[in-house]
Structure 1
Amino acid sequence: MTRKELFFHLLENELSKHGFKYFKSKNKFLKKNNGDEYIIDYEVWPNFIQVEANFKIVIKKIEDIKKKAWNDEYVKFISVGRQKSYLIDDPGSATSWTDTEKNIKKSVSDEINFYVDYGQQYFEEKSDLVKLNKLLNANPGEELYLAYNPFQTIYLAIIVAKLNDHPKLSELYGIYRNIIENLNSSFLNRYDKLVSYLESSDSLSLH
């Protein structure tokens, strides 16, 4: 068994206890709940010296809205997600050494402890559409990397604002449009299509 095989074998043994299924070809663990997907996948260093986890969530309600707004232009990505290094206070400790069998066993233990201590709560909180609305729209534009990049994060922000009947929805549309225009105007077309769909869909609400 190679070091890589050992790492993922040991990790699978533990994460399966939490409902995750292992996908070998993608170095990925996936758990589904009510249509939502919770993903832990691993970036692997050359020669399997180190690994770093990514924590991703695909929220069905969010992605269904994107599909309807963009039709054939829709490409499944994520709804929420970040690399482990952005989720901890000490980014330098985000990677796990996997260069020896001893380090692999330690890294698996560290990864499981991180999931139990933090990852579970991250998945729960960041798939809560009410909490996402508060996080993203209390101070619009302050958090732009909840979904890896500003554009995906802004799409998420306006969708959860709509679903939560945000009282200043039109104002938010304008604020986020200005941010996108300043960052990269080539994303405006997609943004405008999403806004147009949200404005025309009166029935979209959590309430």
Structure 2
Amino acid sequence: MAETLRSRVTRAMAGGVHALLDRIEERAPEAMMEQALRELDQVVDEVRHELGRLTANRHLAQQRHAELNRQHDTLKAQIELALGQRREDLARAAVGRQLDIETQLPLLETNLAELAQQEGEHRGYVDALLAKRREMEAALSQFRQSRAAMANTPSGSAAGSTAAQIEQRLAGATGAFDRIYERQTGLDGPARAGRLADASKLQSLEELLRQTQIEARLAQLKQPGSDGQA
């Protein structure tokens, strides 16, 4: 891969979601993120083109390697025939050609190994770039959804409301449900489970219990001979 292409791949891999998020506050963030995706597509196309060239060169080298091996085998038979007919001059020429082939084969084999390695690297580049593109595309989709949600949120929404205001609105929204539920079952409605502040405290209590369980497990694992089972 040319150094310029390698550097572009490196920049593309180092960018992605973090580079996009840094631009969110700019004037046209969605357009810029779409442009970043198009640039990434260009890099993928270039890497694929280079991959195709490497693959074609490897196939040619394989064909050349097979052809030289066939020639070497044919020359062996020809040398035996020439010696059998006392044509040492012909045998000498065939041996010379064999030696030339034996010199070329190791070079071809080295070239084949290098091409195979580069081909594998480029396939890895393509896979990594496509994975990065999926990650960036998902981030762009989430960004669009967040902006759409903002556009659809009424200006007088509960954003920034106090806990008391939220609880008041919650009570109004769930009151009808509770009344119907209680009439039909004779049981307290689920919305009577507690006030908003109580729910927050219960969540904190659950988190405290979880942290206690984690610390207990860690302490058990630190004991000699522990198999990690609770």
Of the two, which has the highest radius of gyration?
2
The structure whose residues are more often helix, as a share, is: 2
Whether these two folds match at TM > 0.5 is no
Name the TM-score, length of structure 1 as normaliser. Answer: 0.26
Normalising to structure 2: TM-score of the pair? 0.24
